[in-house]
Each structure stands twice: as C-alpha cells, then as structure tokens.
Amino acid sequence: MKQDMIVILDLGSHENTVVARAVRALGVYSEIYPHDITAQELKALPNVKGIIINGGPNNVIDGVEIDVLPEIYEAGFPVMAAGHDKAKCEVKLPAFGSDAEAVKAAVESFVLDTCKAEKNWNMTNFVNDQVELIRKQVGDRKVLLALSGGVDSSVVAALLLKAIGENLVCVHVNHGLMRKGESENVVEVFRNQLCANLVYVDATDRFLDKLAGVADPEEKRKIIGGEFIRVFEEEARKLDGIDFLGQGTIYPDIVESGTKTAKMVKSHHNVGGLPEDMKFELVEPIKQLFKDEVRACGLELGLPYEMVYRQPFPGPGLGVRCLGAITRDRLEALRESDAILREEFAKCGLDKKVWQYFTVVPDFKSVGVRNNARSYDWPVIIRAVNTIDAMTASIEQIDWPILMKITDRILAEVPTVNRVCYDMSPKPSATIEWE
C-alpha cells in the first residue's frame, strides 16, 4: 500500500468530516469508522498509523452513553481524543469546531510527529491502493457494476476496469426516471467510447408500476433501491459467476443515510435502500471520498473532463424530484423543464459555474391563465446550488434576465406547467434534493 492512514472514530461529533478533511489537507489519508470498531478490525485496515477519537454531543444512544472499546487503546497505535474526557490516552483536546484550519493546526503534531505518518495522500497513490484492494477482495471473480452514468459510478467503473478488466460487467438500468437523453448518452460513452462490457436494461414500466401511488419519499427510495438490486440479480443469473456488486457510494451518502451516532436525513438507494436479503458482496472503492475528491480521482484515471464534471444526478433519478406519488404526466413535465434549464445554463456558462441545478415538480396544481382561459396546472421549482463536499450548499444568484428566459421557455414549451419558482433555501436547513 502506498498511503499511510489515520483512523477517525465517530463518537458523536458533528465535525467528523471536518476532521477527516483536515487530516487529508496535511497530506495524510484518513477514514471515518464507527466508535465500536474492534481491535481486530482496526488491525485489518491498511497502513494505520494512528487513531483520533472524535467525541461530541451525540454520544448517547437509546439512553446509553457510548465509548470506544477498551481494546482500542491496546491495539498498538497512537491515540488522540477530542471532546472526550473519558478517553484513556495522553493526548486530549477540547471538542473540535467547524473551522477546518483550526482543526488542521490542532492535529498536525499528532499526525506528523507522534504517528510519524508520511505525507503520501494523493490521487495517484489512492488509485494504486484501491486497485490493489479491489484485486485482493475480488480475485479472479466478476463484479457487476450499477452504472448510472454519473461521476461517482463512472469513476468506480474506471477503477474497476483498471483493477479487473474484462471481469467487470456494467449494467445500466433505465428506470424511467432518467433525464432527457441520459440513458442514450451512457450507452454512447461507455459502450462505444470506453469499450466497457455494458448491459442496457429498459425497466421503465417495471419501476413506474412499482412506484404507482407511493408518495412517501423514503418508501420510494427503498422501492427504487430494492428493485435495482432485483434487476442486477436477474442480470447476474444470466451471466453466471458474479458474486460482487460495485457501487459509486461516497461518504456524504453514508452520512445522510444515518450512522450509529447520527440520525438519518434521507436514505440513499445505494445505502439505506438496499434489501436485507441481497446476495452480493459490495465493492465500494470511493465510499470514503467527498465529491471534489471523486472528481480528482476521475481526472487521475483519465476520464474526460466533461464526464468528471458532469452535474450530479441521484440514483433514484427524477423520482426524488417528482414529489409525492409519481405520475407519468408530471414526470414528463419534470423531464422537459429540466432539459430546458440545462440547455439555458449551458448557453450562458452556468453549467461550469453551478455545482448542481435541476427542476422539481410538486404533487399539487395551481390556478393560472393560458390562452385567455383558466388553467389548472403544475408549478415547476428551479434549484441551483454550489458546494464543495455536498455537506453544505449555498444558493447561486442567477441574473434576472437568465431566470426570466428560462421561465418563459418552460411556460411556453411545457403545456402542463403554469408557474415557475426559484428555491432560495441553503443546506442546511434544506437538503440539496427535495426528497
């Protein structure tokens, strides 16, 4: 392995991601693990040089105060604690705040001097390490990759191709919740340009029938996640000998889906939406990365710039933007309005400035006027946010003439829409998506 690693144990702090990124800013790789990791599990991790116990206000679960296992202190690694007075180690600091530079300064001596970790965290080493770990996990067996075409799954595809080559089978499932032209583009890029072993499955009716009448967002995510797995299992049976499922899970997905010390915000289909009886072993080589790091990894792997900086698109697709119970007419209004937004953003260069932008169609109508007569149609909500790591997000201040042009086009070209709104809510208190 090329990289040294500092392990961060989650003892209820809201600042785990700040600590992880602060360590990486020092040039040392870091990963976050639950507080109850065993010494055996810890020793099985590659190149661990030290442990940071990150305490916080959420160290009580179901009325019981939690702590790391006593054996952690005897595992043979230097240990430092922050915000955890009960820690049985010499280096104890007050709880970390959200200032990344302050956290970086606070941990620098421990990481570099006490742990003697080398500054060898970079994308070249990360890719090499992940290729080694994938080969160790998979051997000469086959991996089925859920390929959405977004940057996360695309980077995983490139990693797996580098690690196991022809033993990778990519499956793109069109669940009927893709953006306009999305599935066609996935086929063009991966099958025709990258020469990946790609299986295309049109499961539009299958998914939409399963989702009919389902309004609760968590239930929708679980149905979509569960049905994805069933489709992959069916494809695996056709191909024979596939034991692994590759996924583009990243760390913000894990955080939002809930941890042992943090309540769920929303389950991601690839985390909280997976069925309990799933027959695959997961391969998730980028699950400890943040979105900006995933993009850097994609560039290191030689993926095209346009693919690496492609706008993020959730696994459940338009299913989390067609609010409430999904109907085909609202889904079509959503798809068309989203295509207009993306086209206009590209024309004025906002596609290279704004991190994520999309439209939302809620499950209620409003009264309007069309062709000098009363209309009763759907509203469209535009959302455009900027972020670095997807943990927080700010609102893009779009010039008024651009917003008006987008509005005029949506109202003129999408006949079932009579109102356009702009979402001004940052994360927090909102999330990036609506569901």
Q: Along the 435 residues of the chain, how does pLDDT read in single tens digits?
A: 789 999 999 988 888 899 999 999 999 999 999 899 999 999 999 999 999 999 877 676 667 788 999 999 999 999 999 999 889 998 999 999 989 999 999 999 999 999 999 999 999 999 999 999 999 999 999 999 988 888 999 999 999 999 999 899 999 999 999 999 888 988 888 888 877 899 999 999 999 999 999 999 999 989 998 898 888 788 878 887 788 989 998 987 777 544 555 443 333 344 444 456 667 889 999 999 998 999 999 999 998 887 888 887 777 889 999 999 999 999 999 999 999 999 999 999 999 899 999 999 999 999 999 989 999 999 999 999 999 878 899 999 999 999 999 999 999 999 999 999 999 999 999 999 998
Cα distance between residue 111 and residue 117, in whole Å: 6
CB within 8 Å of 323: residues ≥ 6 apart: 217, 360, 361, 362, 363, 434, 435
Domains 5-114 and 123-308 share a fold: yes
Q: Find, among 397, 318, 298, 315, the residue nearest to 350 by Cα.
A: 397
Q: What is the pLDDT of residues 386-408, one digit of tens each?
A: 998 788 999 999 999 999 999 99
CATH 3.30.300.10 applies to domain 321-422 = yes
123-308: CATH, from 3.40.50.2300, 3.40.50.620, 3.30.70.20, 3.60.150.10: 3.40.50.620
**Residue pLDDT, tens place only, 34-88:** 899 999 999 999 999 999 999 877 676 667 788 999 999 999 999 999 999 889 9
Helix 291-300 and helix 151-164, axial crossing angle in degrees, nearest 10: 40
Model pTM score: 0.73
Residue 260's pLDDT is: 53
Annotated domain spans of the chain: 5-114, 123-308, 321-422
Do 67 and 43 form a contact (C-beta atoms < 8 A)?
Answer: no
Classify domain 5-114 by CATH architecture.
3-Layer(aba) Sandwich (3.40)
Residue pair 285/134 in contact (Cβ under 8 Å)? The answer is yes
Ramachandran area for residue 395 (φ above 0: left; ψ -120 to 50: alpha; else beta)? beta
